């Protein structure tokens, strides 16, 4: 229900709390160093002060693997056959430690989106609302960065591993996709974000 309210707010006239503009983006996610497609992720931000909603389905994950780290990384990758290592580290313009997506900006990287769940068939259905990432211009904008799906669960910076506070000990990069601005009609937005 919350996502319906957020999406409907995209089409309500702007108030003094932010410019109405909805901004749309997409990322075609491929397996690392492969032309094989995992799926497409769609992003929407209603106003410059609104959270970003991420929607999509990824396939080909290991069945019953449960959770996979899910982060925005710093650099652009090739869209056709991406080298996910080339995406660099987590997108972290505020130079913070790694944390949970529910943490404040002073307790997480901008790109820390937690984990996605792979079901018994190896599919992950994604519907996330995040108040830290932005599509609007500014230091928190994830446009022209890369979304990365990791092999292992993100420990949200709470683990005892040497890389818990930098990567969440999320392991290898299974797939990634370049986040680019796109246009979308209102009917298409409703179809994608409410399906």
CATH of domain 2-8+31-194: 2.60.40.200
d(CA 55, CA 62): 20
Q: Which residues does residue 15 pair with via DSSP β-bridges, in sequence order?
A: 18
What is the model's pLDDT at position 16?
A: 45
Q: What's the CA gap between 51 and 146, in Å, rounded? A: 18
Residue 5: the pLDDT is: 47
* Rounded Cα distance, 114 and 69, in Å: 6
Given the structure tokens 């994830």, which residue do they identify? 142
Q: What distance in Å separates the CA atoms of residue 173 and residue 148, rounded to the nearest whole number? A: 7
d(CA 134, CA 125): 21
Q: What are the residue boundaries of the structural domains of the chain, listed by start?
A: 2-8+31-194
pLDDT tens for the chain, 195 residues long, are 444 444 455 444 444 455 557 999 999 999 999 999 999 999 999 988 899 999 999 999 988 878 999 999 999 999 889 999 999 999 999 999 999 999 999 999 999 999 999 999 999 999 999 999 999 889 999 999 999 999 999 999 999 999 999 999 999 999 999 999 999 887 888 788 876
* Residues 175 and 69 sit within 8 Å (Cβ to Cβ): no
Contacts of 94 (CB under 8 A, 6+ apart): 105, 106, 109, 110, 139
- Answer for the pair 51, 129: CB distance below 8 angstroms, yes or no: yes
- Written as six digits, the tokens of 93 are 């313009």
CA 36, CA 60: separation in Å to the nearest integer?
10
């Amino acid at each position: 229900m919350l996502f319906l309210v957020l999406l409907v707010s995209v089409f309500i006239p702007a108030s003094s709390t932010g410019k109405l503009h909805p901004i749309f983006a997409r990322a075609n996610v491929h397996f690392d160093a492969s032309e094989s497609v995992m799926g497409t992720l769609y992003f929407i931000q209603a106003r410059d002060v609104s959270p970003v909603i991420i929607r999509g389905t990824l396939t080909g994950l290991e069945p019953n693997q449960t959770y996979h780290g899910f982060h925005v990384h710093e650099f652009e990758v090739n869209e056709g056959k991406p080298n996910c290592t080339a995406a660099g580290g987590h997108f972290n313009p505020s130079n913070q430690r790694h944390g949970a997506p529910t943490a404040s900006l002073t307790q997480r990287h901008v790109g820390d989106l937690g984990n996605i769940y792979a079901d018994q068939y190896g599919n992950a259905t994604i519907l996330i609302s995040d108040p830290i990432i932005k599509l609007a211009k500014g230091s928190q904008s994830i446009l022209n960065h890369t979304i990365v799906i990791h092999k292992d669960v993100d420990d949200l910076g709470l683990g005892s591993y040497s890389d818990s506070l930098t990567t969440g000990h999320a392991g290898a990069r299974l797939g990634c996709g370049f986040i680019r601005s796109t246009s979308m009609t209102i009917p298409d937005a409703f179809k994608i974000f409410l399906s």
